[in-house]
Amino acid sequence: MNCYHPILIAASLLCSAAAVRGAVTPDPAVLKAEDERAEAIAKASAATVAVFDGSGGGGGSGVLISPDGFAVTNFHVTAPCGAAMKCGLNDGKLYDAVIVGIDPVGDVALIQLLGRDDFPVAEIGDSDQVRVGDWCFAAGNPFLLADDFTPSISYGLVSGTHRYQYPAGTLLEYTDCIQTDAAINPGNSGGPLFDAKGRLIGINGRGSFEKRGRVNVGVGYAISVNQVMRFVPMLKSGRIVDHATLGATVSTDKGSVVVDDILETSDAFRRGLQYGDSIVRFADREISTANALKNVLGVYPSGWRAPLTYRRNGQAFSTQVRLMGVHDEAELIELVQSEEEQPSGHPGDPQEKPKDEGPKLPIPQLEGLLKKKKMPPAVVQRYEARRGYANYWYNEQAQERLWTNYVDRSAIADLGYDWRVGGKVETGGVFQLVTSANRSELTLPSGHSGAIFNGDVAAQLSPPRSGGLLLAINAWQRFIDKGLHRFGEIYYLGKLPHGPDGTPEDCLVGYFEGMETRFFFAEDSGDLTGIELFSADDADPCELSFSDFKDIQGRRLPTRWLVQHGDGVFAELAIEQWDVGQAPSGPQDGAN
């Protein structure tokens, strides 16, 4: 007689019942989707950063964007940290990190984790392709719960795109952001928002909370990754970066966006925009409300260029506009200091923790840190304080890199001031340029011009309608001769659109005789690709774009110069002769 265990008998009966009803096998497509979701989250989690201020007072989240440790977070997360912070990854390790640059208006900060050059990074997505209804997930450190640095994950939908959030406090303004119902709570600030495939589409920053408990109610906002990545090359300058404005105020009137007022010093005014005009398109987007314009403006740094279409008396006009800053430098620094003194001035701030949430020193690795922070040696080596900068060390490094690459690549150290350059003008005829340290002269098919570089240099704007071509060439020569440290005040601006195709390129800004000169460099080759000389703040610059680099007497020099001023091309010159040590002879009065 066989004996059966009761549990085995029960299992057998259940199996028999299932067989009668028909066994349910999971759909392979469902299992595959589940595996893909888990893989995407695992990959994204590796690049998610837990940010702590190093003294147990608070923190937030961030996300790594490059193997050398650059990571993005919120300005309001880094503000109370100062120059140094501690950052943890889900490998269980804690890393020193240093502030690099800040965008206080857009609530973005760039930091660098130290100690490795092979950090895991997030795959960058395209936030312009995000649609309402797309699945997404947020990763981060809500309520500073990630005591082992493993991020919390919340899954949800994209519930809105191109949202505009009015400024909170004195600075922070969220434009063109992504709205999601994925839970974003205090501590998630600065952390990543990913799409379903694990691609970075935004940086979480603000949330709508109940008045009690600071608990998310399903409405959170992320700064679009396209905006963030446009600012990152500027933030690598170590500066305090400002956002852009047209230099005009607008209002919505009967379905049109009408200019109420405009600064006469703005580039938009010089490009023709006037009081009463209707703005139709900006940066390739239809504009139907004043907020829609604010939304698009907010994704650009000061100094960027963007296409603008406006209508007047039924006629449409299209142009490219150079955007100006929302604040002047002194005002921005003062406002930043105000925000840093009161870092929790808007919803979603991770510093404002519920009183009963978490210990003062939330993780064992931080227990040995002093309340009064002392910067770690690794941070000290990468930090230099200077007014107007988040970290001047990074600016200085960029200056030296660009200058060294240019000198080594082009072999221009002894090029001097005495040039004799000749060739053809693309529209027909020939030209001759002769320069020295004190004067220059240019002969074109349209006539002869000269300039003297003594006294009021800014007045030497010949040839007419060029914006000061001879002065721009002299600034180039001065830069080559004096170098970084004797040209005048010089700093690294970041990357701005330049040239006919508007490709963002590295830009050094130099000042001499009260004038601003911008020098642009190609990232891949290190070549000097252009110069912009501003003779005055309210004037169009003389713009030179260089191409067709060739070996000339052992130097790598551009043989095609495109000269632009305002809306038009002044001349395009093809260089056939370039002799060094040929100074102009005879009197030169500088007359046009």
The pLDDT of residue 53 is above 50: yes
Query: CA–CA separation, 84 vs 474, rounded Å?
Result: 42
Choosing from 189, 278, 410, 462, which is the catalytic residue?
A: 189
User: Do the domains at 246-325 and 397-580 have one common CATH topology?
Assistant: no
Q: For residue 364, name the pLDDT band (cuts at 50, 70, 90).
A: very low
The pLDDT of residue 129 is above 60: yes
Query: CA 304 from chain center: how many Å?
Result: 10
The helix/strand/coil state of 366 is helix
Residues 6+ apart with CB under 8 A from 2: none
Q: Identify the top-confidence range among 300-314, 330-344, 452-466.
A: 300-314
CB 306 within 8 A of CB 323: yes
> Picking from 9-13, 94-98, 544-548, 551-555, which range would have the lowest pLDDT averaged per residue?
9-13
pLDDT recorded at residue 2? 47
Cα distances from 117 to residues 64, 84, 122, 151, 384, in angstroms, run 12, 19, 15, 22, 22
Percent with pLDDT over 90 in the chain = 64
Neighbours of 497 (CB within 10 A): 18
The pLDDT of residue 366 is above 90: no
Query: CA–CA separation, 412 vs 405, rounded Å?
Result: 11
Cα distances from 431 to residues 6, 341, 444, 559, in angstroms, run 104, 59, 5, 13
For residue 233, is the peptide bond before it cis, meaning its omega torsion is within 30 degrees of 0?
no
CATH code that applies to domain 33-242+327-387: 2.40.10.120
Query: CA–CA separation, 198 vs 194, rounded Å?
Result: 5
> Picking from 321-335, 350-364, 445-459, 577-591, which range would have the lowest pLDDT averaged per residue?
350-364
Owner of token pair 């006919």: 500
When pLDDT is averaged across residues 519-540 and rounded to a whole number, the result is 92
When pLDDT is averaged across residues 27-51 and rounded to a whole number, the result is 90
The pLDDT of residue 351 is above 80: no
When pLDDT is averaged across residues 553-569 and rounded to a whole number, the result is 93
pLDDT recorded at residue 350? 37
> Picking from 283-297, 321-335, 565-579, which range would have the lowest pLDDT averaged per residue?
321-335
Neighbours of 553 (CB within 10 A): 10
When pLDDT is averaged across residues 230-244 and rounded to a whole number, the result is 96
Higher pLDDT pick, 216 / 526: 526
Active site residue 548: no
The pLDDT of residue 171 is above 50: yes
Mean per-residue pLDDT over the chain, rounded: 86
Query: CA–CA separation, 69 vs 111, rounded Å?
Result: 8
The pLDDT of residue 23 is above 80: no
The pLDDT of residue 1 is above 60: no
Q: For residue 337, name the pLDDT band (cuts at 50, 70, 90).
A: confident
Tokens read off for 508: 């050094």
When pLDDT is averaged across residues 224-231 and rounded to a whole number, the result is 96
Choosing from 53, 76, 195, 349, which is the catalytic residue?
A: 76
For residue 445, is the peptide bond before it cis, meaning its omega torsion is within 30 degrees of 0?
no
pLDDT recorded at residue 10? 47
Query: CA–CA separation, 462 vs 424, rounded Å?
Result: 19
Higher pLDDT pick, 28 / 198: 198
DSSP string across 495-528: EEEETTTTEEEEEEEEEETTEEEEEEE-TTT--E
Choosing from 96, 103, 107, 176, which is the catalytic residue?
A: 107
Active site residue 76: yes
CB 50 within 8 A of CB 61: yes
Architecture of domain 397-580 in CATH?
Answer: Clam (2.50)
CATH code that applies to domain 246-325: 2.30.42.10
pLDDT recorded at residue 172? 76
The domains of the chain are located at: 33-242+327-387, 246-325, 397-580
The helix/strand/coil state of 110 is strand
Amino acid occupying residue 110: L
CB 113 within 8 A of CB 119: yes
Query: CA–CA separation, 138 vs 129, rounded Å?
Result: 18
Cα distances from 539 to residues 267, 461, 516, 544, in angstroms, run 8, 11, 11, 16
pLDDT recorded at residue 361? 35
pLDDT recorded at residue 343? 45
Amino acid occupying residue 175: T
Active site residue 189: yes
The pLDDT of residue 212 is above 50: no
H helices of 436-496, in order, are: 469-482
Higher pLDDT pick, 206 / 71: 71
Q: Convert the pLDDT of each residue in 72-115 to its tens digit.
A: 999 999 998 889 999 999 999 999 999 999 999 999 999 999 99
